[in-house]
Chain A
Amino acid sequence: MNRISNRVMNKPLSTLLFISLMLLGITPGVALEAQSSENQVSETHASENRASETQAADDLDAERLATQLARQAPACVSFEQQRWIAELESEVTSSGYFHRLPEGLVWQTLKPIEDRVLLSADNPDLSTGMRALLPILSGLLEGDWSKLEQHFDIALEGSMDAWHTTLKPRDSMVAEHLDNIALEGGVRLDQMDIQFTSGDRLALVLEPVACSSLPKTATTQEDNE
C-alpha cells in the first residue's frame, strides 16, 4: 500500500453530504426512476431494508419515505446555514441555494459573501473530502439505500407527513468526528442538524424554490453559460 488517501478523515463529511443529498432527493436519476417505476423500486428496496422497516413506525415506511423524497426532488433548494463553533463560542450564519446542473451540483452561498462550489469529478479545485463524495453520489444515482444502513443506525419516528430520524454512525472512523445527524421533514426534508464530537454544530433549514426566482449573481451567470 503505497499511499493511503486522507479521504479517511473526510469520511464524516462525505457521508453527511451523501445523506443530505439523498434526503433532498436532489439527483435527477433517482427522481426519474422513482416516477417511472415506483412499485418496482419500492419492492426492491423493501426486500433490502427489512431491518429499517421493522424500526419504522406502522404508518411510516422508510422505503416509501425515500421514494417520496426522491420524487419530490426539486431542481433548486434554498438554505439557511448556522454553524456553531464551540471553542470560539461563536456562530457563523450563511444562506444560499443548491442548483442541480448537468455538469454537477452547485452549492451557491449568497450571504454574507457570494461563493460557489461545483461538485463534479471534473472540478480540479475540489478538496479531497469533496472528491471522496463523488463515488457515493453515483451510488445515490442508483438509489442505493443499503449504503446508508451500512454506515448508520437509523431511528425513524413520526408519520409520513411529519417525521424525524436520528442517524448514529456505526463506523468508528466516522464516529470520531460525528456524533449524530438529526433530520426532520414531511413530504420533503425540511431541516438537518449535525452534531460534531468537538461540540461544533451545523444546522441547515431547507426550502424548495423555483430556479427562475433565484437572484442572478456573477457566479450563476457562469453556471448558465
Chain B
Amino acid sequence: MTQGSRSTRLPALIWAVLLLLCALFVTHQVWQGAPLDTRITALLPESDEQPILQRADHSLGDTYEKRLLILLKGDDSAQAAELLRQQLKDSGSVSSLDTETPPRPDKVLAEHRYRLLSQPLQQADADTWLKQGLTRLFTPGMDADIQRDPFGLLDQWLNERLSGPVSWQDGGPTIDSAEGLWRVVSATLDGDPYQLQLQTRLMETLDEFEQAHPQLTVLRAGVVFHAAAGAQQARSEISTIGLGSLLGILLLLALVFRRPGVMAALLLPVFCGLLLATAVSWALFASLNLITLAFGASLIGISVDYALHLQCYRQLHPQRPLSRLWPSLFLGLLTSLCAYLVQLATPMPGLRQMATFTALGLVGAWLTVRLWLPLLPVQPHPATSRIADGLNRWRLTRPGLAVVLVTSLILSTATLVALMKTTLSHDLRQLNPSPAELVAEQQHVQKLMQQPASFRYLLVTADNEEALLQRLEAIDPLLTSLSADGHLSAWQHIAQAVPSRATQQDNLELVRQRYDEVLPQLLDQVGLDPVLAERLTQRLDDVPELTINEWLNTGAGETGRPLVLDGTERPAALVLLGDVDSSAVARLEELAGAPDILYRDRVNALSIQLSTLSREISQWLLLALLLVIAGLTWRYRRRAWRALLPPVGAVALTLGVLAATHTGLTLFHLLGLLLVLGIGMDAGIFSTEHPSDSSTWLAISLSCASSLLAFGLLAFSATPALHFLGTTCLIGLVATWCLVPVARGVQPDSGTDTRHHARHHSETRSHETH
C-alpha cells in the first residue's frame, strides 16, 4: 500500500488546505445570512425574447416581489391593524408602510378637473348635464361646491377612473366586502423576499401577532410568504431527507463493515464533496437555490460510490495494488460528470447551478477518495467478506431461458408502453411549491383587492409621452368591448389616470361649451342670479395640464408607477390585463401584430420555455444514451450489453411504469432519468470491469441501496419538483439493482477474455477459496 510517501502526502495536504478555505467561506456565508432562493422560476431559462420584455418582467417582478399585503377581519380589527403596523415597523422587516396617510386624489386633481371628463359626461347631452347639476344641489348632505364644480366633474372622474374596493375608515384602508370588513395592512419589504433573516423577522412578528389576536381572521399575500413557506419546507425536507438518507446509509454500512474507522472513511468523501460544492457554488452564483441544495445534496449520495468501491476492494483484497481500481473509478467519475455537465449546456440558470453543484460534489468526493483514503490503514472485519460472499451467490452465472425470457418480456413491454403512451406535461402550476392554502389566500386577497395579475400585459411603445398616451387611448375601446363581452376581467394603464394632452384639451373645450349652454339655465332654475355664470366660467381660464410625472409623484398616483417603464430608449408603458379567455387572447395577439405593441403572458411563455427545455433534455438524454452505447461497445465489444443492460434497461422500465400510470413527464422526471442513467452506468461499468469480483457486487448493492434511501425519501417530498425526481429515481434504481445480476453473469472460469481478466479471475478464485 502507498502509505505516506512524499508524492502522495503533498497533494493530500494541498487538498486539505483547499477544503479548510471552503469551510471558512461557507461559515462566513452562513454567518452573513446570504440569501437562499426558493423560486421555481429561477430554475427556468433566461428569456431569449426582446430585451424590453425582459425589462418589463424585471420591473414588474421588482415591484411586486417586495410588496406584502395583510388583511384582517374580526373584533377590534382597527386597533389590531394599527398595532400590526407598529410591530412590522419595529421588526425592521419592512422599509415602509404604504398607507400611513390617506391618498387624496381629490386634492391632487382639484385644479385639473376641467380637463378630466368621465366617459359618460363626455357623451352626455346638455340636458343630462343640467339634471346632474340640479341633483347635486338638491340632494342633502352633498358638499355641492357650486362655485368650483357645479356639475361634479371631479366626483365623476374619481368614481370612474380611480375608485376601487379600498376605502378609508377608522384611520386606515379597508375593504368592505360581503364577507365583512377587512382592514388592509400593506407594506414594502426592507430587502429581497428570499433573505432568510428578513423572512424570519417577518414571520416571527406575524406569528406573535396572530397568537395575540386569535379572534382575527388573517389573510396574507405577497411573494415573501411563498418564499418563506418554500424555504421552511425545503429546510425541513433537507433535514428529514438528508437525515433519513444519512441514518439509512450509516446503518447499512455499520452492518457491512462493522468498523467505525471504515465508516468514517466512507462518509468523509461525501462531506468533503458537499463542502467543496457548497462553497464554490455559493461563490459562483450569488445566491443558492434551495432546490439545488436539496437536489444536489442527495445527488452527492452517488459520491459515496467511489468510497464504497475503494473500501470494498481494500477490505476484501487488502493485498492487491489499488492501481487496479483507478481506471474503473475514473471511468465512473467521467461518465457521471458527463451526465451532469451536459446540463451546463442548457439555458436554465438553476439547472446550471445544480449541475455545477453536483459535478463539484462528485469531484470533491472523488479527490478525497483518491488522495486521502489510501493513506488510511485497513483492518478488514471478517463479517464484511462473509456478507460479500453471501451476496455474491446472488448472481445468475448462466441465466436460464426463463430468466432471459421474463426479462426480455418485461423490458420489451415497458419499452412498448413507454413508446406508445409517454406524454409530456408542461403545466407550470404543477411545479409550484407553495402550499395550497397559501395559494388560496393569495387568490382571495387578489379577488378582494380586484387587482389584475401582473403576469399578463401589453407593452406599448411610442416616440414620445404624448404619442404613448394617445396610443393607449386608441387601444382602450377594444379592451372596453372585450370586457363588456366578458372576455377580459380587468385592465389597467396609465392613460386611464392621465389622459393625453389632446384629450385633455378636447375635454376642456367641451366643458367650456357646456358651461356656456347650461350654467345660466341651472342658476335660473335653482333661483340664483344667472349673471353668476360669468364668474363661475372664469375658473376655466387657466387650467393646468396633468402630466404623467406630476401624477406619479403624488401619493395617490404613485401606485401607477409600475405601469410606466423607466429608462427605456423609447417611452414605454404597460397595460396590465386580468383574466382573459381564448377569444380575448386572439384579439390581443392580433393587436400585438402592430410594431409598437407586444403581448406578453409570462406563465404561458414560461410553459413554452419549459416544454422546449424538456424536449432539449430528452434529446440530451438520447444523445447521452447513444454516446454511452458507442463508448461501452467500443471498450467491451461483445460484452457491451452487460454494461448497458443496467442503465438502458432501467431507463426503459422507468419510462414504461410512468407511462402506464399516466404520469405526464415533467422536466424533473427527465432529470431523474438522467440520474438513473448515471448510476446505472456506474453499476454497469464496474460489474463489467470486475465481473467476478464479490467486492464490486457488494459495492454496487451498497451504492444502489444508499441512493435508494436518499431518493426514495425524495419521492415523499411535498415540493412537486423533488417528488417527481424521487419517484423516477425510486423506480429506476430498483430496476438498476435488479438488472445487474442478470447482466454480470460471467462465470469466473469462462476464461474468454484478455490476460487482464485471466489474472483478475485467478485472484478472485484465490480469494474465494481463502
- Please list the residues of chain A having a beta carbon within 8 angstroms of any beta carbon in chain B: 1-14, 16-17, 20, 79, 81, 83, 85, 87-88, 90, 92-94, 96, 107, 109, 112-113, 115, 117, 127-130, 132, 135, 150, 171, 173, 177, 194, 196, 198, 200, 202, 204
Contact = CB atoms under 8 A, between A and B. Distances in A.
Nearest to B524: A112
Contact of B104 (A3, A8, A92, A128): A8
B99 interface: yes
Contact of B152 (A8, A109, A127, A198): A127
Given A9-B106, A127-B155, A117 B146 contact: no
B142 A7 contact: no
11 contacts: A1-B166, A1-B184, A3-B162, A4-B99, A8-B167, A9-B104, A93-B527, A94-B526, A115-B135, A128-B163, A150-B170
B156 interface: yes
Contact of A107 (B103, B134, B139, B159): B139
Interface in B143-199: 143-144, 146-147, 152, 155-156, 158-159, 162-168, 170-171, 173, 176, 184, 186
B223 to A, nearest CB: 17
Contacts of A81: 138, 140
A16 B451 CA distance: 31
B324 to A, nearest CB: 71
B98 interface: yes
Contact of A4 (B131, B134, B166, B525): B166
A55 B272 CA distance: 79
Contacts of B176: 135
Contacts of B164: 2-5
A65 to B, nearest CB: 22
Given A12-B143, A94-B138, A127-B159, A5 B527 contact: no
Contact of B105 (A6, A12, A17, A130): A6
Contacts of A90: 528-529, 532
Contacts of A6: 105-106, 155, 158-159, 162-163
A3 B166 contact: yes
Interface residues of B, number: 50
Nearest to B529: A90
B102 interface: yes
A128 to B, nearest CB: 4
Interface in B397-453: 449-451
Contact of B451 (A2, A107, A177): A2
B556 interface: yes
Contacts of A17: 140-141
Of residues B135, B139, B527, which shows the largest number of chain A Cβ atoms within 10 Å of its Cβ? B139
Lowest 10 A-B CB distances belong to which pairs?
Answer: A3-B164, A6-B158, A16-B141, A128-B159, A9-B106, A7-B167, A109-B138, A4-B103, A5-B163, A13-B141
A132 to B, nearest CB: 7
A13 B142 contact: yes
Contact of A194 (B141, B449, B528): B141
Contacts of B103: 1, 4, 8
Given A112-B525, A128-B155, A5 B139 contact: no
Interface in B704-721: none
Contacts of B529: 90
B137 interface: yes
Main DSSP-derived SS at the A contact region: mixed
Contact of B163 (A7, A88, A94): A7
A4 B405 CA distance: 74
A129 B559 contact: no
Interface of B: 98-99, 102-106, 131, 134-135, 137-144, 146-147, 152, 155-156, 158-159, 162-168, 170-171, 173, 176, 184, 186, 449-451, 492, 525-529, 532, 556, 559
A123 to B, nearest CB: 12
B140 A112 contact: no
Contacts of A8: 102-104, 106, 167-168
Given A1-B98, A93-B527, A177 B140 contact: no
A16 B106 contact: no
B155 A115 contact: no
A4 B139 contact: no
Given A2-B450, A3-B164, 7 more contacts: A1-B559, A4-B167, A8-B167, A10-B155, A88-B146, A92-B526, A115-B131
B141 A92 contact: no
A128 B528 contact: no
Contacts of B143: 10, 12-13, 177, 196, 198, 200
Contacts of B559: 1-3
Contacts of A112: 525-527
Contacts of A2: 164, 166, 449-451, 492, 559
Contacts of B140: 16-17, 20, 79, 81, 107, 202, 204
B147 A85 contact: yes
A5 B104 CA distance: 9
Nearest to A79: B140
Contacts of A88: 146-147, 528, 532
A204 B141 CA distance: 10
Contacts of B158: 5-6, 9, 128
B167 A87 contact: no
Of residues A9, A13, A94, A109, which shows the largest number of chain B Cβ atoms within 10 Å of its Cβ? A9
A83 B186 CA distance: 41
Contacts of B105: 4, 6
Contacts of B144: 83, 85, 200
Nearest to A119: B139
A58 B159 CA distance: 46
B163 A3 contact: yes
A100 B528 CA distance: 31
Nearest to B167: A7
Of residues A5, A14, A113, A196, which shows the largest number of chain B Cβ atoms within 10 Å of its Cβ? A5
B102 A173 contact: yes
Contacts of B137: 83, 92, 94
Nearest to B496: A3
Contacts of A204: 140
A53 to B, nearest CB: 22
Contacts of B134: 113, 115
A88 B148 CA distance: 11
A4 to B, nearest CB: 4
A150 B169 CA distance: 11
A115 B106 CA distance: 27
Given A90-B529, A109-B138, A202-B141, A5 B166 contact: yes
Contacts of A7: 163, 167-168
Nearest to A90: B528
Contact of A92 (B98, B163, B170, B528): B528
A127 B143 CA distance: 12
Contact of B173 (A1, A9, A16, A130): A1
A4 B159 contact: no
A9 B167 CA distance: 10
Of residues A7, A94, A200, which shows the largest number of chain B Cβ atoms within 10 Å of its Cβ? A7
B556 A4 contact: yes
